[in-house]
Amino acid sequence: MEIKNWYNDKKPWIIAGPCSAETEEQLMDTVGELYAQGIQTIRAGVWKPRTRPNSFEGVGKAAFPWIKAAKEKFPVKFAIEVASAHHVELALENNIDYLWIGARTTVNPFNVQEIADALKGVKDIPVFVKNPVNPDLNLWIGALERIQQAGVEQLGAIHRGFSTYQESVYRNIPLWQIPIDLKSRFPELLLINDPSHIAGKHDLLFEIAQKAMNLQFDGLIIESHIDPKNAWSDAAQQLTPNALKELLKKLEYRTATLPNEAFQNELEKIRDAIDETDKELLEVIARRFELVRKVGAYKKEKNVAIFQLERWQKILENRPEWGTALKLAPPFVKEIYQSIHDESIRLQTDIYNK
Ligand code: PEP
Ligand code: MN
C-alpha cells in the first residue's frame, strides 16, 4: 500500500466533540464553546456501538439537522462514525466532512469491505480507520487497504487502544508499539491518537495526549461535552470545552525537525558520538560472549550443567549494584543481564550439542 500525505494544515490537528450527539441544544452549546477555544473539527457520534444492549445507541439520523444547524452557525467541519453502507450513504447525503470506522468495525473485514464498496468513487472525503479492538496490526492495515482500494485518497489512522481482560488503569491499553510500527511502515499516513477511549477517565487524558505528542502523532481526537457528568455515553472520560482548553495549553508540542542547521549539526554531533559508543558497546558484548564460549567448552569438558543457579544469583545481585554506581537504573541493568544470560545459555547449549 502506498500512502500519500494529504494533510497540510496545522499540527497537531485537534478534533474534539461529544461522544454522542444527544440533543440539538447539547450539540450546539458544545460546538459553540469548542469553536471559541479554536477547535475547527468536531467529532460527534450519531450511531453508537455499545457493548451491552439497552444502553443509549445514538440518536441516529435525527442528528443530521442539528449538525447542519451547527455548521451554519460556526465555520466548523464534522467527523462521524460509520459502521455500515447505509451509514455511509446518509453521511454523504448530509455533507459530513470526515468519516471514521470504529474499533469494533475494523475487526470485521466483511463490514469494512461493505463500507469500502459504499465509498467507491468518493475521493474527497477523508476516512479514518480506528485500530481494531484486538492488537492485530495486520487487521488494521487490511482495513486501511480496503478503504484505499475503494479509491479513497485521504486516509488516516486513529489509535484508540486495545481491549484487555487484565486489570488496567486504562479502559483500552495503549500498546504504543503497534501505532509506532504502523507509522514506521507508512510514514506518510496521518496518525491520530484518541486519548479518551484509551483513558476511560478524564484524569488520564493529559498524560496519554502528551505521550502521543512525544511520539510525533499528527493529531488528537478528544471527547468534549458541555456537561460531561450528564453525558448519555462515556461520561467519565469527557471534558468540558474549558478543561480541554487547559489540557491543550499544558501540552508540550514536539517538532520533527530542528528549526535551523546549527541545531541540526549539534544534534548530529551527539548522534555520531552515540554511534561510536554503540560500536564500543557491541565490541565489549562480543568479547563477553567469547568468554562465554570458553566457559561453555570448559564446562562441557568437565561435564557440569550449563545453568549454575548460584552464579546466576550472584550476577543478578551485583550487576544492578555496579550499575547504580554508574547512574544506571537497577531494573534496566537486571533486564540487560536477563537477556545476556538467555543468549549465553543458548550459545552454551550449541556447544554442548556439537
Ligand atoms: C467513539 O469514538 O465514540 C467510539 C465508539 O470509539 P471506538 O470505536 O474507539 O470504541
Ligand atoms: Mn465514546
Determine the distance separating the centroid of ligand 1 and the alpha carbon of 189, expressed in angstroms: 20
| pLDDT of 186 | 97
Residue type, 310: E
User: Are residues 98 and 154 both part of a single domain?
Assistant: yes
Atom of ligand 1 nearest to the CA of 102: 8
User: Are residues 133 and 48 both part of a single domain?
Assistant: yes
| pLDDT of 83 | 98
Probe residue for ligand 1, chosen from 41, 52, 55, 104 as the CB with the greatest number of ligand atoms within 8 Å: 104
- Looking up residue 307, the CATH number of its domain turns out to be 1.20.59.10
User: C-alpha distances in angstroms, 165 versus 31, 158, 162, 338?
Assistant: 35, 22, 10, 28
- Domain residues for the domain of 120 are 13-250
Instruction: Specify if 6 maps to a domain.
Output: no
| pLDDT of 214 | 94
**E-assigned strand segments in the chain:** 13-17, 41-43, 77-81, 98-101, 127-130, 155-159, 190-193, 219-223
Atom of ligand 1 nearest to the CA of 197: 9
User: Are residues 80 and 159 both part of a single domain?
Assistant: yes
User: Are residues 312 and 205 both part of a single domain?
Assistant: no
- Looking up residue 189, the CATH number of its domain turns out to be 3.20.20.70
Q: How many helices (H) and strands (E) does the chain have?
A: 13, 8
User: Are residues 98 and 225 both part of a single domain?
Assistant: yes
Instruction: Specify if 332 maps to a domain.
Output: yes
Around 265, how many Cα atoms within 13 Å sit in the side-chain half-sphere?
3
User: Are residues 98 and 234 both part of a single domain?
Assistant: yes
Which residue is closest in CA terms to ligand 1's atom 3? 19
Determine the distance separating the centroid of ligand 2 and the alpha carbon of 324, expressed in angstroms: 45
Residue with cell 459530513: 96
**Residue after which a domain boundary falls, among 198, 219, 250:** 250
From the CA of 83, which ligand is nearest? 1
Nearest to 158 by CA among 221, 104, 200: 221
User: Are residues 266 and 200 both part of a single domain?
Assistant: no
Determine the distance separating the centroid of ligand 1 and the alpha carbon of 314, expressed in angstroms: 50
Distance CA 74, CA 64 (A): 15
Q: DSSP per residue over 1-65, as a string?
A: --------S-SSEEEEE-SB---HHHHHHHHHHHHHTT--EEE-BSS---SSTTS----GGGHHH
| Grid cell for residue 102 | 470504529
User: Are residues 106 and 227 both part of a single domain?
Assistant: yes
User: Are residues 280 and 231 both part of a single domain?
Assistant: no
Determine the distance separating the centroid of ligand 1 and the alpha carbon of 134, expressed in angstroms: 14
Number of domains, the chain: 2
| pLDDT of 166 | 87
Q: What lines the ligand 1 site, CB under 6 Å?
A: 19, 45, 49, 81, 102-104, 130, 160, 197
pTM for the full model? 0.79
- Collect the ranges in the chain with pLDDT lower than 50: none
Inter-residue contact 209 to 146 (CB < 8 Å): no
| Grid cell for residue 153 | 485518497
Instruction: Specify if 64 maps to a domain.
Output: yes
Return the SS3 of 229: helix
| Grid cell for residue 10 | 496545522
Instruction: Specify if 7 maps to a domain.
Output: no
Please return the burial class of 316, using the count of CB atoms within 10 Å of its CB with bins 0-12, 13-18 and 19+. Answer: middle
For residue range 1-56, list pLDDT tens digits in order. 999 999 999 999 999 999 999 999 999 999 999 999 999 999 999 999 988 898 99
User: Are residues 207 and 300 both part of a single domain?
Assistant: no
| pLDDT of 241 | 98
Instruction: Specify if 18 maps to a domain.
Output: yes
**Residue after which a domain boundary falls, among 187, 216, 250:** 250
User: Are residues 104 and 171 both part of a single domain?
Assistant: yes
| pLDDT of 260 | 84
For residue range 310-344, list pLDDT tens digits in order. 999 999 999 999 999 999 999 999 999 999 999 99
User: Are residues 223 and 265 both part of a single domain?
Assistant: no
Please return the burial class of 210, using the count of CB atoms within 10 Å of its CB with bins 0-12, 13-18 and 19+. Answer: middle
